[in-house]
Chain A
Amino acid sequence: MIKLQNIQKVYRTDTIETLALNGINLDVAKGEFLSIMGPSGCGKSTLLNIMGLLDEPSKGSISIAEQTTGRFNDKQLAKFRNQKLGFIFQSYHLIGDLQVIDNVELPLLYRDTNAKERRRLATEALEKVGLSNRLKHFPKQLSGGQRQRVAIARAIVGNPEIILADEPTGNLDSAMGNEIMDILLQLNRNDGTTIVMVTHDENMAQKTHRLVRLFDGSQVQ
């Protein structure tokens, strides 16, 4: 489903050159739940951004859903992200000025989906994460766990084949973290969604199919 070949990422400033990722080769199978672990600054999020086509590698190639994305222009990348990928972030990234339902509808705004259909799909997604009674709430009226569930609903509303989660339980206590993890596991199990999750939490990582460890930008496991 995701194939990374010899990925290298270098950040350059006028004075410093930082090697964030070095020679990463990774295959993620369809329906797999992969977790990525490693100490802070080891390149986990950079790797996830590259997988999510939010950042470009300095070297190497990426193939997602059997499409090599290296030659995609900005519009093609945007369309690809919209249709194939769903994102979950540690800090939720909900738009505070929009109600829960409107936040969940966001990815569908960039598709040719009419308003009625958008509302239906967003309601369904929120039902899946158990928030059908919070449609008209604003993010600030929700707890951290509820916010992350909204973010998950937003990630799955467009029915993507892959979900990329960057420390989805990082801001939550263990009970809430477990709730979120259960939802992700259900999505993987029931819908066959491929999930790549960056985490610091060993317990969460152990619940996934496979664990990849990074250290100083290189894959060590």
Chain B
Amino acid sequence: MIKHLFKLIWNKKKQNFLLITEILVSFMVIFAVFILVVNYYQHYKQPMGFEYDHVWVVNYQSDVKIKDKDSLDVYYKTILSNIKAMPQVQEVSFASSNVPFSANTHMNNVDYKKVHVNRVNYYTAGDAYDKVLNMKVTEGRWFGKQDDAATVKPVIINRTLRQQLFGNGKALGEKVGGNDSKRIIVGVVEDVKAKGDYQEAGLAMYERIDTSSNDGRGRILVKVNANADAAFESRLYKLMASNSNNSGIEIEHLTDKRKTINNTTLIPMIILLVVACFLIINVALGLFGVLWYNINKRKGEIGLRRAIGASGDSVSWQLVTESMILATLALFIGIFFAVQFPLLNVFDLPASVYLTAILLSVMFIYLLVLICSLYPGKQASAILPAIALHEE
């Protein structure tokens, strides 16, 4: 019977062309939506790589006029020690402006021998940065006093960058960068999803902040106790204002920043999903209409099949199967185009994202076509053969 239906569909290829095209277009749209959803979901289920609860970000604009490096070093370290002396503060560290969940990004390339890696996030971090964010050091160590006298700038990289640069080889002690800007790797940390729950951790390199310079700074990360309240926040603000001698101070909480940055990912996705939903409803109505029209056009055939031995159920089964075969033909074409994405690495996403999206889209289209054909199929099974044959 399946072969018979294939033959019937093939012989009506002109009539079926539009329906196949409609299913194909639906598949491609659903595929695009699923790529986004699967990609975000895969990122979402990855660990954050750090703790953001009770971490505050102090934004300040230092207009300190100190020129001497030692004095400047003392000045900044005094600010840190003053903050840390507050009873609600557990840890405190300087940071560059691209703190977790901020929109700021500092990117550069990294070279190691013949390996060239693009789009590496550069972070400037203080000696307690890892403790403030409870980051996990997997190899080597975080920055410390032993780096004060370092002749080659120490850096710490994340696990993904380590993998790209060294694979399974040794990373610690290796030097990266050009001849004039060599850096030595002293530690490797777990990946940190600094751009929110739904974005990938990416590649990261951490440099030690230089407190004897005004460069590469602008944020202070403060890990506070659970009982740190608005009164404490006010005291912290006043402390910073008295130290930095200006009013450009803002205190943010990482939990709030996380919500904000997650929304920047989620809102466009939700809008896309709503648009896709409308499209799917349109496609479903279109499919339903075409199948309904086909049944009315084929009443004579249905009547004949009933007369020569088809039961109502087998007529219904035939029409649903025909729709599923049409969907299969459309999906063959759709899958051919869809597999080009991982093969050509179109959006630099893992192949698993595309393959999962293809699988989900195929299931979705089959389900959609099944739902759209069930009712017309049932209606066809209810057609009385004598009436159908008479109408023809």
Contacts and interface: CB of A to CB of B under 8 A. Distances in A.
B169 interface: no
A102 B308 contact: no
Contact of A54 (B11, B307, B310): B307
A110 B11 contact: no
Nearest to A166: B389
B1 A93 contact: no
A89 interface: yes
Contact of A82 (B11, B303, B304, B308): B308
A98 B308 contact: no
Nearest to B304: A93
A109 B309 CA distance: 9
A77 B311 CA distance: 8
Contacts of B300: 93
A93 B304 CA distance: 7
Contacts, number: 72
A66 interface: no
Contact of A93 (B11, B312, B389): B389
Interface in A69-99: 74-75, 77-79, 81-83, 87, 89, 91, 93, 95, 97-98
Contacts of A45: 390
Contacts of A43: none
Interface of B: 1, 3-4, 7-8, 11-12, 300-301, 303-314, 384-386, 389-390, 392
A47 to B, nearest CB: 11
Contact of B309 (A49, A97, A111, A115): A111
A154 B308 contact: yes
B293 to A, nearest CB: 16
Q: Is the interface of B mostly helix, strand, loop or mixed?
A: helix
Nearest to B305: A106
Contact of A110 (B303, B309, B312, B384): B309
Interface residues on A, range: 20 to 34
A173 to B, nearest CB: 22
A118 to B, nearest CB: 10
Given A45-B390, A49-B386, A55-B384, A95 B313 contact: no
B307 A52 contact: yes
Contact of A98 (B11, B306, B309, B389): B11
B25 to A, nearest CB: 25
A54 B386 contact: yes
Interface string A142-177: 000000000000100010000000000000000000
A81 B308 contact: yes
Residue of A45, A93, A95 with highest tally of chain B CB at under 10 A:
A93
B301 A115 contact: no
Interface string A91-135: 101010110001001110111000100000000000000000000
A50 B308 CA distance: 15
B3 A115 contact: yes
Residue of B12, B310, B392 with highest tally of chain A CB at under 10 A:
B310
B306 A78 contact: yes
A106 B5 CA distance: 11
Nearest to B4: A109
A102 B7 contact: yes
